[in-house]
Every structure is written in structure tokens, then in C-alpha cells.
A and B are shown apart, each in its own frame.
Chain A
Amino acid sequence: MELFWYIILIMMLAIYVILDGYDFGAGIIHLFFAKNEKDKKAITNAIGPFWDANEVWLIASGGVLFFAFPTLYASSFSGFYLPLMMILWLLIFRAIGLELRGQIHNHLWESLWDKAFGIASLLLALFFGIALGNIVRGVNLGMVTNGVSTQEAHYFFLPLWNPSFSPHAEHLGIIDWFTILLGIIGVVALTIHGANWIIFKTNSELNLKLKTVVYRLNLILLLLVIISILIWHIIDPKPFRNFLDMPWLWIFPIITITGLTGLFRINQFKKDGLGFLFSSLFLFGGITTTVASIFPALLPSTNKINPDLTLYNMAADHYGLSVGMNWFIVAAILVIIYFIIQYKVFKGKMDNIGYGEH
């Protein structure tokens, strides 16, 4: 039962990253590569009708986390208090940047909200990468100081950084050189992903240039991924133990590699949607591989006194979880139906949708 909800939760988070990820990526492309009004229009048309529904996956994942693993929800949300609040603020700026831009036709107004949308998207991509870094690195559960827990075993609090920026410090920070590396991977991967979405959904003049951008960024991404694999043992002394114990888990790294290498053929793709498919595979594989490497933990402990938070010691009681399965299956079927309708209506290129025109 716990395992069912664990898989649901990871799937929902992965879908969130794939869907809202292209919005963040489109925002980053908008910030750095959109030079004229036509480019900007093309980008906002491509994500305008979707971003809100995409963001719901975050809210729904949060809801499922709360419901299925309440203790983990309580512990991690209070422990990561500051970055979560900042993510909320950035999500607000992303949303109002997109929604308010077209309301007044004045170039100062428009460029203000363009920047708000672009910078918020960039920082969100960075923060979500850093978040993943924090989860695999683990935290000082129970806030152990000099061998003694100062809080209940599953509570902690992390400041934004500690002066050493080291992932080995007794009192860790959100941002250290390891989590920053994952943050940068997040930015690069989502930029590629967003570019692929724009290529997929528009006939923009930008598309040709974006294919080159995807190719070059993919080289950088490959390099960063190799570096991260090489240094992974620094935060986890036995990084591959799960993959040795359960060889079928290799499916996830294989998906990651397929996505990553497939994208090098971006200029030969006949269909515009293929690039998006490959970057989605990379994101899905990247998230599942990372999560699989710490399984069954959801948040590892960096001290020896308090145990990891796992899907077994964090789950809600059996009755609640099993009754929840009934309504969840009904809801999931409905969500799939909405999703198909939405993408059927807005299928193909979206250049003429007129998003944000009033």
C-alpha cells in the first residue's frame, strides 16, 4: 500500500517536472533568446493555455504527499521553510508575468513582466534542481549537535547556506556546491526541454536557432551529468548499491541515457515533437534514477543517530491509504480524460491562439 502511493507520488512529481518544466524552459528561452515581439508571442502562445493546468500537478502532488506521507510532508516542508516560500513567491511572479503582460499595451509594462516571467522561470529551474540535490544528499534529521538530537528524530531546519558551502558540514545549508551542481543541471535540462516544446508547438522563426541551442546545451548537459556521476560517491559512499541489489532498476538510467543521446540528432528529426519526447525521457529518467538510488528512503539522514525517512516509516495508516485508492483511481481517470481533451483542442501549432490579447 505504501509502495503504491510512493510510486504515485514519484510519478506525479515527474509529470509535474516534465509539464511545468517546459514552461520554465520556455521562460528561460524567452529571457535569453527572444529578440522581438514575434518571438515572444510565439513562446507565450505555446505555453499560455497550459501553464496553469501544469502547475496543478505541483499542488496535487503536494496534496498526495500530505495525505499519504503526512509526517514527511510536515518534516520536509517545515525543514525547507525558506526555499519553499521563495519558490511560492517565484511561482507568483512567473504567473503574473505571463498573465498581466498583455493587459496594458506599453513597452515598459511589457518588458517589466517579460523580465519577471523570464527571471522567475530561471530561478525556479535552479531551485528545483537544488531541491533534488538536497533530497539525495539528505539532511541532519533531529538537528544533531555533538552527538545529541535537539529536535524530534524527524524534524530539522536548513538555512539557505552555511559559510563553507560544503555538503559535509554538520549543519548543512540548502545551497552547497553539490546542490548547486544539480541546480545548474536543472537549468540546462529545462532550457533544452523548453526549447523543444517551442519547436514542437510553433512555427516560430526562432526554431532553427533553437535547434542549435539544444544541440550545444546538450553537450554541456552530458558533461555535467558525467561530473555529477563521478562525484556522487562524495555524498553517498555506496551510490550504486540499489542498482547492484536490484538490477531491474537499470531501466531508469537507460531511459536517461536514451533521452540524452537521442537529442544529439535534433537536426535530423523529421517530426518536431521528437525533441520534446527525448528531453521528457531524460527528465523522467533523471528523476527516477535519483530517487531509485536512495530507495526506500525519501529523505536520508546525514547523522548516525536518527534513521532515514522512508516510505515505510512516514506513511499514513492503512485504512486511510486504502480508502484513498478508490477515489484516487476515479480522479486519475478523469484527469487523463481532461488531459486528452485539452491537448486535442490545442493540438498542433499554436501560433495563432492569441494568448494574452485583450
Chain B
Amino acid sequence: MEDMLFYDRMQFAFTITFHYLFPQLTMGLSLMIVYFKWKFLKTDNSHYNDAAKFWMKIFALNFAMGVVTGIPMEFQFGTNWAKFSELTGGIIGQTLAMEGMFSFFLESSFLGLFLFGEKLLGHKLHFITGFLVFLGSWASGFLIIATHSWMQHPVGYEILENGKFVLNNFSALFSNPWLWPSYLHNQAASLVTSSFVVSAIGAFYLLNKKHASFGRLFVKTGVVFGLISTVIVAFPTGDLVAKNVVKHQPVTFAAMEGIFETEDGGSEIVLIGQPNMLDKKLDNKIAVPNILSFLTYQKWDAQIKGLNEFDKDIYPTNVPGLYYAYHIMVGLGTIFIGLMTFANFQLFRRKLYETKWILWSLLFMLPFPYIANTTGWYTAELGRQPWLVYNLLRTSAGASPTVSSGNTLFTLLGFIGLYLLLGLLFLILAGKIINQGPSTENH
């Protein structure tokens, strides 16, 4: 029984982690492509159109990966989490079915037109198809986060005698206080990924002295979008998400921040340290006094409940994992803001394209927004454990009753093998597109 739950969780964690490497780029990148295309329509400078076309190639490849790895996510609710689906399907089925009907049809119908229809449609209509693809992908994110928010903070439901959750207020799903901060936080984070990717490829072209005019455009666009999005991720959106956690999941907040004891004079903010679950303390801690109380309640001596105050059976299942995920996300986010601030400062002084260390840093940073996005999601998901529906339905009660661990391990291994192949193919092909670079066309 223990094995079974473990493999079910591993399979979901593995497939969703791999899947989300792609949508986090496509959601942000679609907005940036729409921006390039819009600049082209406004200035009639074909350089922008060529830039849009280049990123559309990267987008198409990512989108295809996102689609093929996305379908297993919808299936796994039923295949691996049948009990959960049976009990809550009347509610989360709403938002998931809406995702299919409202966003997947929109995206897929117009993606074909966007990728193959430039000549057939003309530039204005082509711009509109691009905008609709962007709209579809952001709607998809919205409905997924609405589902996620209901699991974190259930609203608009009642529980029947047989244990089933039924909906009694549809609009509550969308006015959930958990939803909007999480959605904006996530979309800004997706824009962080795309900004870093665009600026990293630009930096690569400048450092490599190839496609230099595109290099300048990509670096410039990337760092401007990058500064805006890295700031919004932290404030106000990240801050609002954290305040939701304090309010509705205090035990999760304590674990995230690595606070074991309640301190009367206000809590310190932990920068570095390793949770020691045996002695219930942090080893090798570096912390700044009172900052956490201030950030959380705007009062230096506000009291924050430590882990020790809570019952052990509602502890997040993996406290150290949650703590590390959160600290990696926050640490990287801080570095991102710093780098983007420097880059914009140099851009303002018209020295960015010659400042080698910033270009190298932008190139080197390419994988890190992916890590930050992933650890951000781990913070949310590990933070919700041991619950599927917070405080109401435990993860251990949600797995499929008839699927044996041997079968789940079989498919988990299958997914690992298949996704390694997909990842390898993706890297080869993305590398090829980047190496080829944008092509200049006469209009």
C-alpha cells in the first residue's frame, strides 16, 4: 500500500515537472511574440517580423512538447487518482472541462493558422491569430490554477454523506482568494522564464558575434520584460501568495520558512540552514532577526507560529523538501532581480551590448528560471501535503484502489524512458534552431 502511493506520487510529480518545463516558456513567449509582431505592424520594420518568426519556431517546438506531455496529466487524475476524481470530480471536473473547451480549442485552432497562415492571412490577421494563441494559453493557465486553488483552499462546496464533494456555488471557484494572487504570480514567473530565454539567446548571438542585430534586439527586449516580471513575481504577487499561506496554512508557512519555535519577540528570516528533523532545529543557520515578522505582518515583533506548535500528523509530509524548494525559489528570484536591474542600468547608459560580464551572466542564467518555477510549484504542492484537498481529503485516500504498485512502477519507468528521449530530441532541435538563427527576409 505504501509503495503504491509512493509510485503514484512519483509518477505525477515526474510527469508534471517535465510537462511544466514547456508551458512556462510558451505562456510568456507567446506574449513576447505578440509584442514583436505588434512592433512590426507599428513600425513596418521587418526586423521585428523576422524576430517574431524566429521565436515562433522555438514556440512551435515547445508547444508540441507541452501538448504531448500535457495529455498524460489529464488522464492521470483518473488512472492513478481515481478515488480523488470520484470524490471531487463534480468540482474540479468543472474547471478542467472548461480548460479543454475554452482554451485548448482556441489554442489549437489558431496555432495552425498562426504557424502556417502568414501568407494566407496577411500581417494584421496573422497578428490576431498570434494574440488568440496567447489568450488561449493564458486561459489554460487560469483554469489550471483555479483547480489548484480549490485544492489548496476549497470553496463553494458541500460534502455529502457518502464523502463526495459537490459544488454549490460556481462563481466561488473564481472569486477564491487563493486564485488571483497565485495566477498572477505564476504568469509573471512564466514571463521571467521567457525573458531570460530571449535575453540568453540574444547574449549568445552577441558573444558569438553572429546575428548581432538580432542579438541586440533580443537582449534589450529580454531585459526590459525581465526587470518588470522579476519584480512583479516578488512584489506584489509573491507577497500576496505568502500571506495566503500564513493565513490559511500556518503549518506550511512554518515549514517553508524553517521556523521550528515560536519566538515572542518576532521571528527571524532564515537565509541558509539545513532542517534537522530529529532535533527539531536548523543546522548551520544564517538568519536575520525580526525580518520575517515584518514581511509577514508589517510589525517587527509579530508572532509567527513555529512547527512545534502543530500536531505532527498535519505536518507537510516532506518538511526539508518544502523548505529547500521555497528557499531555492526565493534565492534565485533575488538574484534575478539583481541581474536584471544591472542590465537595465547598463541599457539605460547604452553600454549593455559591450558589458561582457552581464552578457555572460544572462547566458549562464538560462536554466535557472526553470529551476525557480519548478521549485515554486514544489513549494505549493509539497506545502499542501499531506492533503489533496486541504484539511479535508488526505493524499493517502485519493489513489486508485485497483491499480497495483507493479503496474504503476511499470508506467513510471516507461514515462521516464520516453521523456528522456523527448528531452534529448528537444535539446537537439532547439539547439539547431538557435544555431541557425533568425533569417532575414525582404518584404
Chain A residues with CB under 8 Å of chain B are: 48-50, 52-53, 55-56, 58-60, 62-64, 66-68, 70-71, 73-79, 81-82, 84-85, 88-89, 91-92, 95-96, 99-100, 103-104, 143, 151-152, 155-157, 316-317, 319-320, 323-324, 327-328, 331-332, 334-335, 338-339, 341-342, 345-346, 353-355, 358
Residues on A with beta carbons closer than 8 Å to the beta carbon of B277:
none
Chain B residue total in the interface (Cβ 8 A): 68
Residues on B with beta carbons closer than 8 Å to the beta carbon of A84:
75, 79
Tell me whether A77 and B89 are in contact in the complex, defined as CB-CB below 8 angstroms, given that A50-B112, A317-B167 are known contacts: no
Residues on B with beta carbons closer than 8 Å to the beta carbon of A339:
109
Chain B residues with CB under 8 Å of chain A are: 57, 60-61, 64, 67-72, 74-75, 77-80, 82-83, 85-86, 88-91, 93-94, 96-102, 104-106, 108-113, 115-117, 120-121, 160, 164, 166-168, 170, 400-404, 407, 410-411, 414, 418, 422, 425, 429, 432-433
Please give me the residue from chain A that is nearest to B402 by CB atom. Answer: A157
Report whether A66 and B89 are in contact in the complex, using a CB–CB cutoff of 8 Å.
yes
Residues on B with beta carbons closer than 8 Å to the beta carbon of A316:
89-90, 93, 166
Tell me whether A92 and B79 are in contact in the complex, defined as CB-CB below 8 angstroms, given that A155-B401, A327-B98 are known contacts: no
B181 to chain A, nearest CB (A): 24
Report whether A156 and B85 are in contact in the complex, using a CB–CB cutoff of 8 Å.
no
A97 to chain B, nearest CB (A): 11
Residues on A with beta carbons closer than 8 Å to the beta carbon of B61:
99
CB < 8 Å: which of B85, B100, B167, B170 contacts A59? B100
Please give me the residue from chain B that is nearest to A340 by CB atom. Answer: B109
Please give me the residue from chain A that is nearest to B111 by CB atom. Answer: A52
A sample of 19 cross-chain residue pairs with beta-carbon separation below 8 angstroms, ordered by A number, consists of: A52-B111, A53-B105, A59-B70, A59-B71, A59-B74, A63-B96, A70-B88, A73-B93, A77-B75, A77-B79, A82-B407, A85-B72, A85-B79, A99-B60, A99-B61, A143-B402, A151-B401, A152-B401, A319-B166
Instruction: Beyond A88-B75, A152-B401, A355-B116, list 7 extra A-B contacts (CB 8 Å).
Output: A55-B71, A70-B86, A73-B78, A75-B82, A81-B411, A84-B75, A85-B411
B440 to chain A, nearest CB (A): 16
**Could you tell me the dominant secondary structure of chain A's interface residues?**
helix
Give the distance in Å from the alpha carbon of A95 to the alpha carbon of B72 in the complex: 14
Residues on A with beta carbons closer than 8 Å to the beta carbon of B72:
85, 88
Report whether B116 and A49 are in contact in the complex, using a CB–CB cutoff of 8 Å.
yes
Please give me the residue from chain A that is nearest to B115 by CB atom. Answer: A49
B367 to chain A, nearest CB (A): 23
Report whether B78 and A56 are in contact in the complex, using a CB–CB cutoff of 8 Å.
no
Report whether B101 and A335 are in contact in the complex, using a CB–CB cutoff of 8 Å.
yes
A15 to chain B, nearest CB (A): 12
Please give me the residue from chain B that is nearest to A98 by CB atom. Answer: B64
Tell me whether A317 and B90 are in contact in the complex, defined as CB-CB below 8 angstroms, given that A60-B101, A78-B80, A332-B101 are known contacts: yes
Residues on A with beta carbons closer than 8 Å to the beta carbon of B79:
77-78, 81, 84-85
Give the distance in Å from the alpha carbon of A324 to the alpha carbon of B101 in the complex: 11
Report whether A59 and B104 are in contact in the complex, using a CB–CB cutoff of 8 Å.
yes
Tell me whether A63 and B170 are in contact in the complex, defined as CB-CB below 8 angstroms, given that A92-B418, A143-B402, A342-B112 are known contacts: no
Please give me the residue from chain A that is nearest to B436 by CB atom. Answer: A358
Residues on B with beta carbons closer than 8 Å to the beta carbon of A358:
57, 433
Report whether B108 and A53 are in contact in the complex, using a CB–CB cutoff of 8 Å.
yes
Residues on A with beta carbons closer than 8 Å to the beta carbon of B67:
52, 55, 95
Give the distance in Å from the alpha carbon of A211 to the alpha carbon of B100 in the complex: 36
Report whether A91 and B71 are in contact in the complex, using a CB–CB cutoff of 8 Å.
yes
Please give me the residue from chain B that is nearest to A103 by CB atom. Answer: B429
B31 to chain A, nearest CB (A): 21
Residues on A with beta carbons closer than 8 Å to the beta carbon of B418:
89, 92
Residues on A with beta carbons closer than 8 Å to the beta carbon of B410:
82
Residues on B with beta carbons closer than 8 Å to the beta carbon of A143:
402
Residues on A with beta carbons closer than 8 Å to the beta carbon of B93:
63, 66-68, 70, 73, 316, 320
A197 to chain B, nearest CB (A): 16
